[in-house]
Amino acid sequence: MSKAAGSDKLSAMKKFTLLRTIGNGATGKLSDYLASETGLSRVRIKDAMSKGAIWVGKERGGMKRIRKATAALRGGMKIEFHYDEKLLALTPPQARCISDRKEYSVWYKPAGLMAQGTMYGDHCSLMRQAELFFESKREIFPVHRLDREASGLMLVAHTKKAASLLSGLFRNNLVIKKYSVEALGDFAESGPKGIIDLPLDGKISVTEYKVLSYDKATDISSVDVAIRTGRLHQIRRHFDMIGHPVLGDPKYGKGNKNKEGMKLTAYSLKFKCPVLKKEIEYDSPNK
């Protein structure tokens, strides 16, 4: 297959990964080279670069995203182009910075926004939006996660020390995380409040809940939840395991789907602030 035929085949694909190592003596722009290799227009190449789909590195060493369309080819350069037409076409919802402690910031993440990007891009992530918000003048470190489908509060660290301290708080279950949840069925049948301590992935997992209300007409309960352990999809899995799946959850439960999205919001984070050296609680502006 000729180079032209190969590039035409790639440009017709909705998703692909291109791996290349540049030989010595190469010249020209990286964007022009990728346009030639893939058959994509230079406009689409530049868009993919700006959205974090293109990575470069040396023959030995790690890879990093490169966003400048004027970046030059260099001998020995390793290139990874992770192209996903569907992802690159998305317009992400916008997060809001609700508090800036310099060493870290507190954000409200809307539903549909990823916490971190993927190899295929990061423009739909909170980390990238925080980087742009601070005009790339601060380092950005994730310290915990929140499901893409969920909304609510997230912390972003801006120094390695803050990242280590905050990550340690989450890892040692020293952060009290509170959520508002809408679940299918009459949750109060299990009691107006209680604890779900079913193990997840073979690990201790504790979810405390308090039923706020139940609408018989819609068969939906409003529940206040607090967790200290942070297992993957902990609330979603626990609620499904006891027969009251989270409304709108795309993965867990039956009969709980809707058109409005998942009804789970992280509305409060309480911990000992490593900057102020005292207990502090952040509440969601959408509480």
CA distance 227 to 266: 10
Catalytic annotation present for 283:
no
Token pair 């893939």 is at which residue? 38
Q: Which residues contact 162 (CB under 8 A, 6 or more apart)?
A: 103, 104, 141, 274, 275
* Marked catalytic residue, from 122, 147, 240, 249: 147
User: CA 163, 118, 105 angle in degrees (round to 5)?
Assistant: 30
Q: SS3 for 165?
A: helix
DSSP assignment of 197-255 equals ---BTTB---EEEEEEEEETTTTEEEEEEEESS--TTHHHHHHHHTT-PBTT-SSS-SS
Region for residue 52 given its phi and psi (left: phi exceeds 0; alpha: psi -120 to 50; beta: otherwise): left
| Catalytic residue set | 147
